[in-house]
Amino acid sequence: MKKTVLSIFALLFGVVLLNAQIINENFDSYTAGSPAAQQAGAPWTTWSLAPGGAEDAIVSSTQSSSPSNSAYIGTTSTDFVVLLGDVTANVYDISFDLFVENGKMGYFNIMNSFTGGTYLWATDVYVRSTGYLSWTANNVSDSIPFSFDTWYDIAYTIDLNNDTAFMFVNDTLVNSWKFSKGTLGTGTTLKLAAMDFYGAAEDLQPGYYIDNFVFAMNTTSIAENNNSVSVYPNPATDAITIEGQANSRFEIFNAAGQTLVSGMLSNNTESIDISNLNQGQYFVRCIGNDVLVKSFIVE
């Protein structure tokens, strides 16, 4: 049975977004022990666009998040790719289950560009021997503890309309960044091209499984939420007040995606000094049960 897409309600600019599936793959209908991309067909492929060869993942029945198969990345030659259409607008959700074997490592990335000989990375994610899942996006690296021999749900909401991406692990938001900035913060390409599951080997050899991969496009705006977060006064000069969910995290960032101020809303309301900000447009992102973004002007 194929997995229902993870319901990620990325609440951006007061609009609730729903999902329409484009890719839903659990590898269950394929023969274990045989190449995954070769059996699945497009949009699954390999780095060299050569399914069935050494770069292809292997369908495995050894581990699966849902019965009975998964795709296994187990050699340094494996470079398993799913093409996501080179899309440049709208909002997309990606989710999949990840299992890294004890004594092995895992790696995957999202790409702004893949075909045509131009390869641009939007984010890189590793699971290393230290027992952490770590990522780099917009030249900022962070990590969370990770248990081997355990299935994790990895998910992203990528809002190409607002050039913002969000990363979730087991339904918990762990990162957000300006998507076009890429892994190193130097990118300028606002495009979602592909995902690459590569057999990277650093301190350990590769050995991980992916299952229940879903790629979904959000549909048109469904509902308004006018009381979720407030920013005032707007325009502002010296200070703003943010009202939102208590104990949620807030970030003030500029149009380039740089986070300038961050903190916690301890009692629903927080007064923030913005006297050091130049004139222009800024954004407040509140991260609690939902992710909410509001813009404001500094005069």
Q: Residue 123 is encoded by which pair of tokens?
A: 């984010």
- Residue 189: the pLDDT is 95
Buried b (16+ CB within 10 A) or exposed e, 233-263: eeebeeebebebbeebebbbbbeebebebee
- Residue 14: the pLDDT is 37
* Number of DSSP helices (H) and strands (E) in the chain, helices first: 1, 22
pLDDT, one tens digit per residue, over 111-135 is 999 986 789 999 999 999 999 999 9
- Are 203 and 129 spatial neighbours (Cβ–Cβ below 8 Å)? yes
- pTM given for the model: 0.73
Rounding to the nearest 10 degrees, give the CA dihedral for residues 83, 85, 90, 96: -20
- Domains of the chain, CATH where assigned: 19-218 (2.60.120.560), 230-298 (2.60.40.10)
- Are 164 and 178 spatial neighbours (Cβ–Cβ below 8 Å)? yes
pLDDT, one tens digit per residue, over 90-115 is 889 999 999 999 999 999 999 999 98
Residues whose CB falls within 8 Å of the CB of residue 174, separated by 6 or more in sequence, listed in order: 142, 144, 167, 168
Residues of the chain with pLDDT under 50: 1-18, 220-227
Rounded to an integer, what distance in angstroms lies between the CA atom of residue 56 and that of residue 53?
6
